[in-house]
Amino acid sequence: MKNTNKNINYSGTFPKYYDLINKGKDYDKEAEIIDSVIRKYSKKKSLKLADVGCGTGNHTIAFSRMGYRAYGFDVSRHMISIARGKSTGLHFECKSFEDVDEPFDVIVSLFDVVNALGPYKNLAGFFRSVAKNMKNDSIFIFDAWNGSAVFLHPPEIKTKAIEWKGLKIERKVIPKTDFLRQVCTLKYDIKAYKNGRLAEHVHPSLVINFFTYNEIVNALDDSGLKVVQAFPYKEPSKKIAENDWKINFVCKLR
Ligand X SMILES: C[S@@+](CC[C@H](N)C(=O)[O-])C[C@H]1O[C@@H](n2cnc3c(N)ncnc32)[C@H](O)[C@@H]1O
Residues in the chain, how many? 254
Q: How far is the CB of 214 from ligand X (least distance, A)?
A: 22
> Any contact of residue 3 with ligand X (CB under 6 A)?
yes
Residue choice 21, 50, 54, 144 for contact with ligand X (CB under 6 A): 54
CB-based burial of residue 232 (10 Å sphere; 0-12 exposed, 13-18 middle, 19+ buried)? buried
Which among 130, 150, 74, 148 is positioned nearest to 250, based on CA atoms? Answer: 130
> Any contact of residue 139 with ligand X (CB under 6 A)?
no
Question: Stretches 75-83, 146-154, 163-171, 212-220: which one binds ligand X (CB under 6 A)?
Answer: 75-83
> Any contact of residue 143 with ligand X (CB under 6 A)?
no
The number of beta carbons lying within 10 Å of the beta carbon of residue 116 is: 23
C-beta closer to ligand X: residue 58 or 138: 58
Residue nearest to ligand X (CB): 55
Binders in 88-117 for ligand X, by CB under 6 A = 96-97, 110-113, 116-117
Residue choice 38, 58, 128, 182 for contact with ligand X (CB under 6 A): 58
Contacts of 96 (CB under 8 A, 6+ apart): 2, 3, 73, 75, 129
Which among 218, 210, 110, 205 is positioned nearest to 150, based on CA atoms? Answer: 210
Partners of 174 in the β-ladder: 187
Residues making contact with ligand X (CB under 6 A): 3, 8, 10, 52-56, 58-59, 73-76, 79, 96-97, 110-113, 116-117, 126
